[in-house]
Chains A and B, each alone.
Chain A
C-alpha cells in the first residue's frame, strides 16, 4: 500500500457567525484506503466535507492534492479535480430520469446534440456492472425508493472519474442487504486505488469496512488512528469525550407495563389508504411507547402519516381520547388533538432552513395560536433559550439560521418544536437517523422520560435494536400491511426479525 497520501488538509479553520465550526483540523487520505470520519453531531464532519468539496471556503489552512495546493471554489471544480461526493440526504432531481441524474451536465453528445440512447445505455451498464442494480433508467428517479436513489447518487459519483469518493452517511437509509451491496462496491473501488472518505454513525460498519479513522470533536481534531489499533470503547470515548456513563444510563428497561395507562389515547380502526398502506387496527395507550418495525418500504411511514393527517386516509376511522371521528384530514387538526409528528425527511418536511432556530422552535405553537395571538419576541426568546439548554442544542445562539446547524442539532430543534406543544401522542419517524451515539442516546432517553410522564409515543426506526429497547409493544409491518402486534413478553430480536422476514 502506498505510503504517500493523495490528499492532505492542514490547519483548517472555518467560522460561521462567530462560532468555530472547524478549528485547526487536519486529515489525510491514502489511495486504496477507506477512511472513516467519525464524530458526534456538530463535531464538524459535514463542514469538513463541504470545505473539501468547495461548498464553503476555508478561513485558514491548506489543502494539498498530490502535493499541490488545491483550490476549489465550488462543487463543480471539486468534481473536476477528482473529488466526488454523495451526501447524506440525496441531492438529485427526483423528476429527472435515473440516466439523466447520473449524467446531468456531462451527457454524451455529438455536435451538441444529446445522445439519449447512448446515455441510457451507459447508465444501465454502469448500474449493472459496478453496483449490480438493474432498474429501468428511463424512469423518473422519484419513482424509486430512497435506497435506490442513494445507489444512483453513488453511481453518479462513480461515473465521474473520481480519485476521491466521499460518502456522507450513505448507509443511513439502506437495509442490510443494500449495505452489503454498497460495501462490495466500496471494496472493489478501493482495490482500484480510490481513496474513500466514509462518514457514518454505525460503528459496526466502521469496523467492517474502514482502514483508518479520523475523529473530530466540537470542531477540533482528536486524532487519526488505524482501525485495527483502535478499540470500539476507545473510539466512542474519543467521540463523546466523556466516559460511557451516558451509554450505560440506558440499561435494560424495567417492566413498565404496570406504569402504562390502560386508557387508550388513539384507536385506528381499519384505517388505510390505497396503494400506500392496507387497512390496519392500532391502539396506543397513554404513557405507552409503540414501536413500528419493518423494512424500508414496509409501510411504516405511510401508516404514521395517516395518523397525523399528513396523508388522508381513504378508509376506516380514528378514535382519539375516546371520541369517534372520521380520518384526520389535515395536520393542523391532528395537532389540535394533541398529536405531534417528526417526519423522517428532516430537510424537506421538518425544518424551515431559512428561518432561525428560534422561529423554527416556536412555529408549531404559533400556528396553533393563530395569526393574531402572536408570541411576543421576549417570550419567543425565553422559549428558545429554555429548549436550547434543555435538550442541548449547539450552537446556543437562537438567531442562527437552522440551515447552519448539523443534522443532529436540526433534529433537536424539531424535537423542541413539538415538545413545546406538550403533545399527548408523539409520532417519531426515524428520529435518530444520521445522528451520533451521544445524541441518539439522549433522544432515546428523552422518549422514555416523556412516556413515563404519560405521553404516548409511536417510535419508528430502521434500527431494530433501538425499537426493541424503547418499545412497550411493537407493531411489525411487511409489504404495506401491519402483520402482527407484539406484547412486551414476546419481544425479542429473534421474534421480531422472524416476523419482519415472514415465512
Chain B
C-alpha cells in the first residue's frame, strides 16, 4: 500500500508543497487561517491561489507543449502582448466601463494570442525548426511587439469590468481561481476524453512511430502551441487586470522559466511523452508558495533569487529517485540477498 502511494506521480510534489506550507505555518502561526471579511474569504492560502493563477494557466499550456517534446519560451512575452492589446483597446474605447468594449478587447487579445501560437506552431511543425529556437524568436520579438502596442508607454486603464478578471470575487473566492479551474478542467477533458492526450503523448514519445501509425503530428503540434498561447493570453489578461495597466517590458517577465519548472516539478519529462496536468498545478503552487514565503518572512530583496534557487534545488532533490535512493538504499534496493535466501535457491 505504501509503495503504491509513494509511487504515485503526485506523491513527491505534494510532499514538497506540504513541507513548504508547514514551514510557513511554523514561521507564521496564522498562515493557515482563513477569515471572512465583507463576504469574501481572505488568507495566505487564498492569496497563493489567487496570485498563482497566471502561472498555473501558463504552466497548463506549457505542459502540453512539453509533452510533445517541445518547449515554448515565448509565453512570458505573450502574457505582455495579450495584456497590452486588451488595455490598448479599452483605453481607446469611449466608455471604459462598457461591458461590450471589454469583451471585444478580451476577444481581440486572445485572438492575437492564438495567432502568435499559430506562428510558433508553424515554425515548429511546418518549417521544422527546433522548438527552443522557434519560440526564442517570439520571446525576444514579443517584448518589442508589446512595446509597439503600448507605444513604449505603460497604458493605464480604469475599467471595472476588466478589473473583475483579476480582482473580482465570485462565491466568496477570487474570480481568477475560477478561470484556472475552468481552463484546467477543460484541458483535462479535451486531453483525456478525446484522443488528443494520447496523440500528444505518442508524438512526444516517438514522433517517427506516431507518423507511421497515421497520426497527423503537424496538426497536433499546431493545436498544442496555439493552446499554450491561448493560456498565456488569458494569464496576460489577469496580470494586466491586477494592476489595471499594461507594461510591455515587465509583464510576464521570466514566466516561461517558472512555467517550465512547474511542469517539470509536476513530473512531466522534458523529453516528452507522458504528461501530468495535476502535477503541473502542484508544481505551480509550490513556486507560488515559495514566492509568498519569501515576501512574508522578509528575505532581503537582494538575495531572494538565491533563496528561491536553493529551495527549487531542494525540491528537485526530493523528487530525484536516485537522490532518495542514497538514503534508502540500505533498506529498499538491496542488490544482494541475505544468506538464507541464497541457500533457499541454491
Q: Which of B89-97, B146-154, B336-344 contacts A (4 or more CB under 8 A)?
A: B336-344
- Residues of chain B within 8 A of A348, CB atoms compared: 206, 208-209
Distance in angstroms between the alpha carbons of A369 and B341 in the assembled complex: 53
Distance in angstroms between the alpha carbons of A48 and B180 in the assembled complex: 49
Q: Which of A340-377 contact B (CB under 8 A)?
A: 341, 343, 348-355, 359, 363-364, 366-375
Q: Which of A301-332 contact B (CB under 8 A)?
A: 308, 310, 330-332
Expressed in whole angstroms, the minimum distance between the Cβ of B190 and any Cβ of chain A is 8
Distance in angstroms between the alpha carbons of A353 and B269 in the assembled complex: 14
Contact between A10 and B215 (Cβ–Cβ < 8 Å)? no
- Residues of chain B within 8 A of A330, CB atoms compared: 211, 216
- Residues of chain A within 8 A of B195, CB atoms compared: 366-367, 369-375
Expressed in whole angstroms, the minimum distance between the Cβ of B174 and any Cβ of chain A is 33
Count A/B pairs, Cβ under 8 Å. 104
Distance in angstroms between the alpha carbons of A58 and B215 in the assembled complex: 38
Distance in angstroms between the alpha carbons of A374 and B199 in the assembled complex: 11
Interface of A is mostly: mixed
Q: Which of A438-457 contact B (CB under 8 A)?
A: none
- Residues of chain B within 8 A of A24, CB atoms compared: 345
- Residues of chain B within 8 A of A353, CB atoms compared: 205-206
Expressed in whole angstroms, the minimum distance between the Cβ of B346 and any Cβ of chain A is 6
**Chain A 1-43 near chain B by CB (<8 Å), digits 1 or 0:** 0000000001101000000000010000000000000000000
- Residues of chain B within 8 A of A11, CB atoms compared: 341-342, 344-346
Expressed in whole angstroms, the minimum distance between the Cβ of A28 and any Cβ of chain B is 13
Judge if B44 is at the interface, Cβ distance under 8 Å: no
- Residues of chain B within 8 A of A417, CB atoms compared: 213
Distance in angstroms between the alpha carbons of A375 and B198 in the assembled complex: 11
Distance in angstroms between the alpha carbons of A165 and B336 in the assembled complex: 23
Contact between B205 and A352 (Cβ–Cβ < 8 Å)? yes
**Chain B 57-101 near chain A by CB (<8 Å), digits 1 or 0:** 000000000000000000000000000000000000000000000
- Residues of chain B within 8 A of A364, CB atoms compared: 213-214
**Chain A 376-392 near chain B by CB (<8 Å), digits 1 or 0:** 00000000000000000
Judge if A50 is at the interface, Cβ distance under 8 Å: no
Distance in angstroms between the alpha carbons of A6 and B35 in the assembled complex: 73
Judge if A147 is at the interface, Cβ distance under 8 Å: no
Judge if A71 is at the interface, Cβ distance under 8 Å: yes
Judge if A244 is at the interface, Cβ distance under 8 Å: no
- Residues of chain B within 8 A of A370, CB atoms compared: 195
Expressed in whole angstroms, the minimum distance between the Cβ of A171 and any Cβ of chain B is 25
Contact between B337 and A60 (Cβ–Cβ < 8 Å)? yes
Contact between B214 and A355 (Cβ–Cβ < 8 Å)? no
Contact between B337 and A62 (Cβ–Cβ < 8 Å)? yes
Expressed in whole angstroms, the minimum distance between the Cβ of A145 and any Cβ of chain B is 19
Distance in angstroms between the alpha carbons of A266 and B209 in the assembled complex: 24
**Chain A 185-206 near chain B by CB (<8 Å), digits 1 or 0:** 0000000000000000000000
Q: Please tell me which one of the listed residues A69, A354, A367, A373 contacts residue B205 in the complex, with CB atoms under 8 A apart.
A: A354
- Residues of chain B within 8 A of A331, CB atoms compared: 211-214
Question: Which chain A residue shows the least CB distance to B333?
Answer: A57
**Chain B 193-213 near chain A by CB (<8 Å), digits 1 or 0:** 111101101100110111111
Judge if B273 is at the interface, Cβ distance under 8 Å: yes
Distance in angstroms between the alpha carbons of A13 and B209 in the assembled complex: 33
Q: A367-B213, A367-B215 are in contact. Are A69 and B336 (CB under 8 A)?
A: yes
Distance in angstroms between the alpha carbons of A371 and B199 in the assembled complex: 8
Judge if A246 is at the interface, Cβ distance under 8 Å: no
- Residues of chain B within 8 A of A10, CB atoms compared: 342, 345-346
Contact between B337 and A61 (Cβ–Cβ < 8 Å)? yes
**Chain B 164-208 near chain A by CB (<8 Å), digits 1 or 0:** 000000000000000000000000000001111011011001101
Interface centre among A366, A368, A375, by most B CB within 10 Å?
A: A366
Q: Please tell me which one of the listed residues B193, B208, B215, B345 contacts residue A61 in the complex, with CB atoms under 8 A apart.
A: B345
| 9 examples of A-B residue contacts, CB within 8 angstroms | A58-B335, A332-B214, A348-B206, A349-B212, A351-B206, A364-B214, A371-B199, A372-B194, A374-B193
Interface of A toward B, CB cutoff 8 Å: 10-11, 13, 24, 57-58, 60-62, 69, 71, 73, 308, 310, 330-332, 335, 341, 343, 348-355, 359, 363-364, 366-375, 417
What 7 A-B pairs come out closest when comparing CB atoms? A11-B345, A367-B214, A335-B214, A332-B214, A354-B273, A354-B205, A367-B215
Name 18 extra pairs, CB < 8 A, besides A349-B208, A355-B202.
Answer: A10-B345, A61-B337, A61-B342, A73-B335, A310-B211, A330-B211, A332-B214, A332-B215, A335-B214, A349-B212, A354-B205, A354-B273, A355-B273, A363-B213, A364-B213, A367-B199, A367-B213, A371-B199
